[in-house]
Amino acid sequence: MLTRQNKNKINITANATWTQNGVTIAGGHGEDDATNQLNWSHGLFVIDHDQTVVIVDRSNHRIIQWKNGDTTNGQVVAGGKGEGNGLHQLDRPTGVLINKEADSLIICDAEISLRL
């Protein structure tokens, strides 16, 4: 049972139960580089307004997104052109954020400090 202690805190009691209805929305088809596969997913960002999930696919050197409701294939939004330091490449990315105001991705690469 959930109870609100004040406007900023929620108390979850020890006997709380949760409905379990999880759905695999990304990956689940073994490790590889197809758009329905991930290889060492390392970071995750969810876009609030449409529930798009953006995932750092570290060993595939790419950022891939899944739109809400699409559980079959993701879309590569950065990298995916092999490991490297070219403008179209990533080198073992570790994190991603989305700047809504600038309509841009902020990507942290293991070998390249920061890309905007």
Q: Write the DSSP string, 5-62.
A: EETTEEEE-TT----------S--S-BSSSTT-BSSEEEEEEETTTTEEEEEEGGGTE
Which of the four pLDDT bands, split at 50, 70 and 90, describes residue 4? low
List, for residues 10-36, the tens digit of each pLDDT value: 788 888 888 787 778 788 888 999 998
Beta-carbon neighbour count of residue 78 at 10 Å?
20
- In the block, residue with structure tokens 């070219």: 86
* Structure letter (DSSP) for residue 97: E
10 within some domain: no
d(CA 73, CA 35): 5
9 within some domain: no
Average pLDDT value for the chain: 85
Segments forming the whole domain that contains residue 68:
26-109
85 within some domain: yes
User: pTM value?
Assistant: 0.75
87 within some domain: yes
53 within some domain: yes
41 within some domain: yes
36 within some domain: yes
List, for residues 52-67, the tens digit of each pLDDT value: 999 999 999 999 999 8
> Looking at residue 46, which CATH number applies to its domain?
2.40.10.500
40 within some domain: yes
d(CA 107, CA 26): 19
Count the domains in the chain: 1
Question: CA quadruple 48, 50, 55, 60: dihedral positive or negative?
Answer: negative
